[in-house]
């Protein structure tokens, strides 16, 4: 594969969108339970992928939206939703993260279409990086914007400096992500579209993991109330802010995610 561009219209390399969010994935204990829950709550269908044993791709209306891997117990990882960012070189991105005070949890590990690593930033928020071919149909995923990301962290501006250095945001390279400031938040845009927000206020050593620095995945849905009812009916819990526009939910394994009204900006 040409590492700089597309081989087919529906195949994109991480090189083409380096620095941008490119995927979200759930580490679960029991894949079947997770699939049943997210099928009921978000209406997803699931298909087997060749990335690794036990890995499945979730689809919404034919669009690939997320991955689920039953590796939490095997790899002794927390059950959680994790965002992945596209990079040109996983090794170089890991090195930049370590140079800036981040830590490496896993990898880089080679998979058939590329290489991945899991890192934590200086305040402990976990994120992934991906080098290689993106999921087929990724451009549709990007245009449909089924998810956006919000980093709850100690200091938004300090975090933006860390991620900007690791992921090469706001550099002179063509197509890099743009960083803007909106009050006390940092806003990340890719090709002019908002893809992530960084918010200050998390407490680094808080005993409650919901208060500590973390990335939160938001899924756009047509009916927040229906998602809440389905989550409760299928073993999930409502953690915060259940109203017509947004709700923070936990799946039966405890993974947190947010459902946001698709009509919201």
At 75-118, the pLDDT tens digits run: 556 788 999 998 989 999 999 999 999 999 887 888 777 888 99
Beta bridge partners of 196: 149, 188
pLDDT for position 217: 93
263 contact partners, CB below 8 Å, separation of at least 6: none
Span of 12-21, 140-149, 187-196, 255-264 with lowest mean pLDDT? 140-149
Q: By C-alpha distance, which of 194, 201, 199 is closest to 265?
A: 194
Beta bridge partners of 147: 219
Task: Give the distance between the most distant pair of CA atoms in the chain.
Answer: 50
- Percent of the chain whose predicted confidence (pLDDT) is above 70: 82
Type and span of the H or E element at 224? helix 224-233
Q: Are 16 and 189 in contact (CB under 8 A)?
A: no
Length of the chain: 265
- Percent of the chain whose predicted confidence (pLDDT) is above 90: 42
DSSP helix/strand/coil, 24: strand
Q: How many whole angstroms separate alpha carbon 97 and alpha carbon 95?
A: 5
Instruction: Output 229 or 73, whichever has higher pLDDT.
Output: 229
Q: What is the dihedral of CA 98, 104, 255, 180, to 10 degrees?
A: 20
Half-sphere exposure of residue 192, counting CA atoms within 13 Å on the CB side? Answer: 1
SS3 content of the chain, % helix, strand, coil (to 5): 20, 40, 40
Which CA distances in Å does 125 have to 78, 111, 161, 230?
Answer: 12, 24, 14, 29
How high does pLDDT run on average in the chain?
Answer: 82
pLDDT for position 4: 35
Q: By C-alpha distance, which of 118, 83, 87, 84 is closest to 18?
A: 87
Q: How many whole angstroms separate alpha carbon 160 and alpha carbon 148?
A: 16
Q: How many whole angstroms separate alpha carbon 211 and alpha carbon 197?
A: 17
pLDDT for position 79: 83
Q: What is the pTM of this model?
A: 0.87
């Amino acid at each position: 594969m040409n590492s700089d561009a597309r081989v087919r219209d529906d195949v994109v390399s991480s090189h083409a969108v380096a620095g941008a969010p490119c995927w979200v994935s759930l580490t679960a204990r029991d894949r079947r339970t997770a699939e049943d829950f997210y099928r009921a709550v978000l209406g997803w269908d699931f298909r087997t992928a060749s990335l690794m044993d036990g890995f499945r791709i979730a689809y919404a209306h034919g669009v690939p939206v997320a991955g689920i891997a039953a590796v939490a117990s095997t790899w002794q990882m927390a059950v959680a939703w994790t965002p992945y960012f596209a990079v040109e070189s996983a090794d170089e991105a890991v090195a930049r993260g370590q140079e800036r005070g981040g830590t490496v949890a896993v990898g880089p590990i080679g998979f058939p279409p590329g290489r991945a690593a899991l890192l934590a930033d200086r305040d402990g928020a976990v994120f992934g990086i991906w080098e290689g071919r993106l999921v087929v149909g990724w451009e549709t995923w990007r245009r449909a914007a089924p998810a956006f990301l919000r980093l709850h962290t100690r200091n938004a501006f300090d975090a933006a400096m860390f991620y900007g250095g690791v992921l090469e945001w706001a550099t002179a390279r063509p197509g890099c992500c743009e960083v803007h400031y909106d009050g006390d938040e940092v806003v990340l845009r890719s090709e002019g579209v908002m893809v992530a927000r960084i918010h200050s206020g998390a407490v680094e050593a808080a005993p409650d993991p919901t208060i500590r620095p973390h990335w939160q995945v938001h899924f756009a849905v047509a009916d927040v109330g229906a998602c809440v009812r389905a989550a409760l009916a299928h073993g999930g819990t409502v953690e915060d802010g259940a109203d017509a526009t947004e709700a923070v939910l936990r799946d039966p394994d405890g993974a947190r995610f947010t459902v946001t009204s698709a009509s919201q900006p």
